[in-house]
Amino acid sequence: MAASAVTADGRARVLADGHQMPMLGLGVWQVPDGPECVNAVRWALDLGYRHIDTAQAYGNEGSVGRALRDSGVPRDEVFVTTKFYPARKDPVAEAERSLRRLGVDHVDLYLVHWPEGGPTWAWPGMERARELGLARSIGVSNFSAGELDAVMAAGTIPPAVNQLQFSAMEYRRGLLDACQRRGIALEAYSPLGTGQHLANKTVNQVAQRVGRTPAQVLLRWCLQHDLPVISKSTHRERIQDNAQIFDFTLSAQDMAELDALDQTNGTGRALEDTWW
């Protein structure tokens, strides 16, 4: 199956199930429930973001929901992702709880957060959540190529998305190729290495050449690999800066220099070290 397409304006990815995911999203991992999370999401929505990524494990779905309501942005204009916490038992029951916390009647994307207990056991519940209309699209996160195959063999609905730790330094070519062959959109999280990649010499050299910040360069690298990308910040200025990635292009030389920063040897693994 061919990889899903990016829209002509470069701002959305058409998933294999036909739904569109905005290419840039705000993530709220490690953002405490309360005003800090509400403000970050409100600022992002005010600045034009239309994709918000949370999870049951983050404990801040209530704040995301409050920000959605307070923003005045129509619900159908915002792509909302949450993730099933696999230490729980029932993806449907947990999705219903997420929707109550978020104050919405569905999420746009519901992911198995990681393959704890094996890659396939939660998938029937994920399919049921989609059939019930609790989620428009379903997918996985932190799944290797082999784990994707297991899910596809066991289920009737293939994952639309595999959300992964992915950046120029974690350029998991093997896993990207596996996703593309299966028609699964790879979505990048931690594209800045939780800030660690911003000091990289090559990244800074490219940023100086193109007149952009290191963060913008690393986010743009994801876009030019046709990868939707989640950036995280609780600072309005950085949230704004991170959105300025659609009005410039990295050259083939820039991309090659950034590609060469990979430290994973083009792995098909989702992570070097798992936490479950």
Determine contact, residues 41/81, Cβ cutoff 8 Å.
no
Is 58 assigned a catalytic role?
yes
H helix or E strand, kind and range, residue 26: strand 24-27
Tokens of 266: 């083009």
Determine which one of 58, 110, 171, 189 is catalytic: 58
Residue 210: CB atoms within 10 Å: 16
Q: Residue 169 corresponds to which amino acid? A: M
Spacing of C-alpha 186 from chain mean position: 8
Determine contact, residues 74/102, Cβ cutoff 8 Å.
no
Radius of gyration of the chain (CA): 18
Q: Cα torsion for 1, 76, 232, 62, to the nearest 10°?
A: -120
- Catalogue the active-site residues: 58
